Structure 1
Amino acid sequence: MGLEIEHPQQFLEEAKQAVAAYQVVSGQLKAQREEERQAATTLEKLRKETQERIQKTVKARGEEITATYDKQLSQVDGRLKKAQDERERARKEGVKGRIRKETEPLVTENRELRRQLAAILKKDHAPAFCKTGVFYTLFRPSGFGEIFACLLTFVLIFAALPF
């Protein structure tokens, strides 16, 4: 406290230097704060960009995994369907074979009966018309379809007679 009274000039010089130093430090502080704010803004911007890249990468990988999974799943489904079709085909073949085996005596008997009928008709000198299905339909119908065919034939014949 004594300096300002004893040497006021020196005191003012030191005060002036202190104020100048304060202003320099204050300017540096403002510059540092501005630099810090810019660095924080840049850092935040980089964080957002990094986060966006991470999200894009995760999304792309997720889509790739999903596509691969769907592809593999469709391949497995295809193989499963193929195996089921083969089993079904084998089952049908087995059923057809069983039916063929069970009806084989009947088919043989029918062939033998047709052969015997042809021999009888030949022995009796019957015309070839007697061996046809039309003959049996007209003269011995044995079902709704044959009866209908017989009636239709008679209707057509009687419709054609007047002309």
Structure 2
Amino acid sequence: MVISITRTLDFYGFKLVDENTGEIRRLSGDSYKSRFRNLDTSSHNYLRITRILKCLGEFKYEYLKFSFLEAILRESITENKLSNCLRSCKDYWIETLRSPHERRAIRQYARELVEYRNKGMTPPKSHKAHRPRPTSAAVEKTEKMSSSKDDDDDDHME
């Protein structure tokens, strides 16, 4: 699964920097430019990205969604590289986050980036979205949802 994620990110102009934390950055050098241009002008990819994000949650890679959204927002708002992606990010991709706390945090990050932009400033490279730590109840709920879906899937396979 990680190989598929890595290839997909590469196709869109990003790289998975740290598999454990889920940190995602744009590709180095000029290699991201044509991929970003394709992503920004080919809206047919946006529904595909929505499906990919939903799939990540189903396969226990929920933690990668937040980092992907953080990267998209940074490139869209601060770097003005993926401005056409912004609407899909706001209306659909953020909504794929299961945790309302994470949805709130990523929206707050977007507001902060817009504030920097409106002031004619660039946020420091160290400026990141503050991902809330999952509570034990949230983790249990996610695990329970996953296991009950697994149980349902088993019934259909007999």
Structure number with higher strand proportion: 2
Higher relative contact order (CA 8 A, sep 6+): 2
TM-score (norm 1): 0.17
